[in-house]
Amino acid sequence: MEHAVIQDMRQMTGRGRAIEDESFSIIDREAGPHRFQPDQWEVVRRVIHSTADFEFLRLLAFHPDAIRDGVSALRRGCPILIDVKMIAAGLNEERLAAYGCRIYQYISDAEVMAAAKRENSTRAIEAMRKAHREKQLDGAIVAIGNAPTALLEVVRLVNEEAARPALIIGVPVGFVSAPESKQAVASQPIVPWIVSRGRKGGSPIAVAIMHALLRLSVEKASSAQPA
């Protein structure tokens, strides 16, 4: 399993790898001393690499168990539940499939759209409800990059209906309910989380976090193998 993921990660050309390595070196120099643990820094620097925005040094926050539980979930082949198709477009499905992970999203599902209209709800809310009915929330990594209402619904499902994702990545961008939805995730004590506080976020941030977790999963597997 790890061999297939490692081989996929090595598809970048030598020149491409050199450019990426130089980019990360620049980020490390310009960031300077920071408050993050090494595994957390792998996530933060990849988000900065994706956005060229050093404000994420201040905005990104982690539950103490977030990296450990996220990596463990990937290695178990967990479902990946997302709010919008843009996240799926950025993820490497072959790399995830090597672990047995499958991506789920229901924002354009006919049943979801009908329920949102009938209940005067949102498609994002109804998509999370359908995922819960389909037993795809428990043990999953939930990655929300666009819809604060999806994130708030996940928190409700955790608190009121005993949904148990392995990790919630809460990074929706926006002005209405985005900061509040992230605070709600960080305030619940049940499920580990990674959030970007405030208004900033978006699907590229969710993708960058997922890619960092995948890389960490490979690094941990490699370090565990006998020399």
DSSP annotation string for the chain: -HHHHHHHHTTS-HHHHHHHHHHHHHHHHHH-S-S--HHHHHHHHHHHHHH--TTHHHHEEE-TTHHHHHHHHHHTT-EEEESSHHHHHHS-HHHHHTTT-EEE--TT-HHHHHHHHHTT--HHHHHHHHHHHTT-STTPEEEESS-HHHHHHHHHHHHHH----SEEEE---SSSSHHHHHHHHHH-SSS-EEEE-SS---HHHHHHHHHHHHHHHHHHHHHHS--
Confidence band of 7 (pLDDT split at 50, 70, 90): very low
Q: What is the pLDDT of residues 30-57, one digit of tens each?
A: 999 999 999 999 999 999 999 999 999 9
Q: Which of 49, 63, 132, 211 is catalytic?
A: 49
The mean pLDDT value for 8-14 works out to 60
Per domain, the residue ranges of the chain are 2-224
Query: How high is the pLDDT of residue 20?
Result: 86
Q: What is the pLDDT of residues 55-86, one digit of tens each?
A: 999 999 999 999 999 999 999 999 999 999 99
CATH topology of domain 2-224: Rossmann fold (3.40.50)
Confidence band of 4 (pLDDT split at 50, 70, 90): very low
Q: Is 49 a catalytic residue?
A: yes
Query: How high is the pLDDT of residue 6?
Result: 43
The mean predicted confidence, pLDDT, of the chain is 92
Q: What is the pLDDT of residues 126-172, one digit of tens each?
A: 999 999 999 999 999 999 999 999 999 999 999 999 999 999 999 99
Residue 201 near residue 145, CB atoms below 8 Å: yes
Query: How high is the pLDDT of residue 140?
Result: 98
